Structure 1
Amino acid sequence: MIIDNVKVYTESGEFILGGIITQGDTITAVYSEREKEVTFEKMNMTADSSVQKEKLTENVIDGKGAYAIPGLIDLHFHGCMGDDFCDGDKEAIRRIAEYEASVGVTAIAPATMTLPVEELESILKTAAEYKKECENINQIETKNDKKRADFVGINMEGPFISPIKKGAQDERNIIPCNEEIAQRFLDASDHLVKFLGIAPEESANAASFIKNMKDKVNISLAHTNASYETAKEALEAGANHVVHLFNAMTGFTHREPGVVGAASDNERAMSEIICDGVHIHPSMIRAAFKMMGAERMIFISDSMRATGMPDGQYTLGGLDVKVTGNRATLVSDGALAGSVTNLADCMRTAVTQMGIPLETAVACATKNPAISLGIYEERGSISIGKKADILLLDQNLTLKKVIKSGR
Structure 2
Amino acid sequence: MTEKISGRVVRPGAVVPGYVEVDGPTILSVSEHGHTGDDIIVPGFVDLHCHGGGGHTFTQGDPVDARAAAEFHQAHGTTTMLASLVSSPYELMRDATAAYAPLVAAGVIAGVHFEGPYLSHARCGAQNPSFLRDPSLEELSALVELGAGAVRMVTIAPELPGALAAVEFLARRGVVAALGHTDATYEETLAGVAAGASVGTHLFNGMRPAHHREPGPIVALLDSPSIVCELVADGIHLHDGMLRFAAHAAGPDRAALITDAMDAAGMPDGEYELGGQAVAVADRVARLVRDGSIAGSTLTMDAAFRQAVGAGLDLATASAMASTTPARALGLSDQVGALEAGLRADLVVLNPDLTVKRVMRSGAWLSPPAASGGE
TM-score (norm 1): 0.86
Contact 2:3/2:23 (8 A) holds in 1: no
- Determine the structure 2 residue equivalent to 1:235: 193
Q: 1:99 deviation in Å?
A: 0.8
1:81 aligns with 54
**Cα drift, residue 366 of structure 1:** 0.4
2:116 partner SS = strand
State the partner residue of 1:330: 288
Question: Do structure 1's residue 351 and structure 2's residue 324 form an aligned pair?
Answer: no
Residue 104 of structure 2 corresponds to residue 131 of structure 1: yes
Partner of 1:98: 71
Matched, 1:371 2:328: yes
Q: Distance in 2 between matches of 1:370 and 1:78?
A: 18
Counterpart in the other structure of 1:388: 345
Pick from 210, 213, 224 the counterpart of residue 182 of structure 2. Answer: 224
Deviation, 1:4, is 4.3
Residues 89 and 209 (structure 1 numbering): CA distance in 2 closer, same or farther, change over 3 Å? closer
Secondary structure class of the residue paired with 2:242: helix
- Number of residue equivalences: 362
In the alignment, structure 1 residue 120 sits paired with structure 2 residue 100 = no
Deviation at 1:295, TM superposition (A): 1.1
Distance 2:99 2:133 in 1: 23
Instruction: Please say which of residues 362-371 and 206-215 is displaced more in the overlay.
Output: 206-215
CA contact (8 A) 1:179 1:213 kept: no
Give runs of aligned pairs for residues 2-401 of structure 1, distance below 5 A: 2-10=3-11, 12-33=12-33, 64-132=37-105, 134=106, 150-203=108-161, 205-216=162-173, 217-352=175-310, 354-401=311-358
Name segments (4+ residues, structure 1) moved above 3 Å: none
Partner of 2:367: none
Task: Report if the CA contact (8 A) 2:221-2:227 is conserved.
Answer: yes
* Deviations 1:106-165, CA, capped at 9 Å, x for gaps: 111121110100111101110013334x36xxxxxxxxxxxxxx4112221111111111
Query: Secondary structure in 1 aligned to 2:38?
Result: strand
Letter aligned with residue 211 of structure 1: E
**Alpha carbon RMSD of aligned pairs, Å?**
1.4
Aligned partner of residue 378 in structure 1, secondary structure: coil
- Tell me by how many angstroms 1:208 deviates: 2.9
5+ residue gaps in structure 1?
37-61, 136-149
Q: CA deviation at 1:87?
A: 2.2
1:15 maps to amino acid: V
* Unmatched tracts of structure 2, length 5 or more: 365-375
- Mark the CA change 1:63 to 1:190 in structure 2 (over 3 Å): closer, same or farther: farther
Give 3-state SS (helix, strand or coil) of 1:397's partner. coil
C-alpha deviations, 1:329-365, integer Å up to 9, x for none? 000000000000111101111111x112221011101
1: CA distance between counterparts of 2:136 and 2:331? 25
Q: Is the CA contact 2:26–2:344 (under 8 Å) kept in the aligned structure 1?
A: yes
| Cα distance between partner residues in 1 of 2:156 and 2:298 | 25
Q: CA deviation at 1:378?
A: 0.7
Rounded Cα–Cα distance in structure 2 between residues aligned with 1:108 and 1:101: 9
Contact kept, 8 Å, 2:115 with 2:154, in 1: the verdict is: yes
The structural deviation recorded for 1:202 is: 1.8
Shift in Å at residue 239 of structure 1?
Answer: 1.3
Answer yes or no: is the 8 Å Cα contact 2:26–2:345 preserved in 1. yes
State percent identity of aligned pairs.
Answer: 33
1:63 positional shift: 6.0
Instruction: Kindly state the Cα deviation for residue 213 of structure 1 after the two structures are TM-superposed.
Output: 2.9
Which of these two proteins has the greater Rg computed from alpha carbons? 1
Distance 1:152 1:263 in 2: 25
Given residue 9 of structure 1, which amino acid in structure 2 is its aligned partner? V
Does the Cα contact within 8 Å between 2:349 and 2:358 map onto a contact in 1? yes
Question: Structure 2 vs 1, CA of residues 91 and 207 (structure 1 numbering), >3 Å: closer, same or farther?
Answer: closer
How far apart in 2 are the matches of 1:318 and 1:25? 40
Tell me the distance in 2 between the aligned counterparts of 1:192 and 1:405: 20
Using structure 2 for the length normalisation, give the TM-score: 0.93
Verify the 8 A CA contact 1:8 1:15 in the aligned structure 2: yes
1:220-270 per-residue CA deviation (whole Å, 9 max, x = no partner) reads: 112111011110111112111110000001101222211011112211011
